[in-house]
Structure 1
Amino acid sequence: MGRHARARKIPSMSVSKRFRTPHDSGRQVAILCKETGATLFMAELPKEADTEPPARRMGIALELALRAEADLSGADLRGVIAQDLQSFEGKLAGADFTGADLSNLECIGCDVRQTRFAGASLAKADFRGCDLRGADLTGADIRHAQFQFCNARGALFVNPLADQTYFWTTKLYDATFSGVEPGKIIFEDCNYSEPDAGED
């Protein structure tokens, strides 16, 4: 989208192909959200967002989009700063959060298949009932994070920054854990068995 693009409503379109990196201006981000129906209740970002750095403005736009249950599958959200997102239920499959700050994220029943969290901060994040199959958390900060009733089959936890990280009743078949100090991650009632044919 060009710098001088005009806002227009595009029905039934996901944000995935239209979100850009945090380097876009606050107004551009607002236009992108509005076009997808994510923030139809607002013409642009709150005025106080104007004083925020680009990565934080993108985080504000992200929060508004998530509140509106926008489909962010495949979105490029590298480096976004979006701390304390609460009670989020949404679609993030294939999104790229490389280097993002998502600390204190509360994610409930989210679709985060193949989502990239490499080098991201997920400190104190709470994933409940999420589909994390194939997600990449290489080098992510998962200290004090919790994964409950999730499906993390085939997920990558390579060289994460971990401490008091909990996995409860989570499917971990074919998940990769490496470069983790003993005792930093606690597993309770997790399933490591290969799924039956037709089972997720």
Structure 2
Amino acid sequence: MGLFINNNEHPEVYKNTHPSETSNQVISRQDFLSELMKEQQKANAALEKALSELGFKTRIQEETQLTHWNYVGEQLVDLRKRLDSNEDTNHQLIVQMNEQLELQKEFAETLTKQEEFQAGVLQRLDTQEALIDKITRQINHIRSILFERTNYLAAKIDEGYKITSSYVYKLMTGSDQPLTFLLMKDKKEENQKQTD
């Protein structure tokens, strides 16, 4: 039976103009399985939404990573090309350096041979100079000996000439006066004639 309100005599008794916020129902019957199903559906919807968002974010991240890996791959290819180029350049430099070292080695050997040759030439020049000094001393010695012998022979020849001339003069003239006296007399007469 519902609540009786006498609108004729007491219209305002038990009449509430405001809607009731609470229920008059004391006993309620709940279906836990239905509630559980509703909660599970909400959870499934939330999980599906989260999985969808996660899939979207995963796809974006995969695309970003793919772009990044493509960029890294291109960089690696460029780096490989640069390394190969550097390797070629380094190989050429090593070849040139080896050639340069070989040339320097040959030059050093040539220089060593040249120094040995020059040392030999200097030694020969020293020996030659010593021989020249020895020969010069011998020539000077021979010259002094020749000079002494020549003077000695000239003196002997002069002496022999005088003796021979005096002897021939004595034979021819019969005079005991030496030829030098006569020669000096003739020379004196010639000088007097020239002065006259």
Please state which band the TM-score falls in when normalised by the shorter chain: under 0.3
What's the TM-score, normalizing by structure 2?
0.17
Structure with more contact order per residue of length (Cα contacts < 8 Å, sep ≥ 6) = 1
Structure with greater proportional helix content: 2
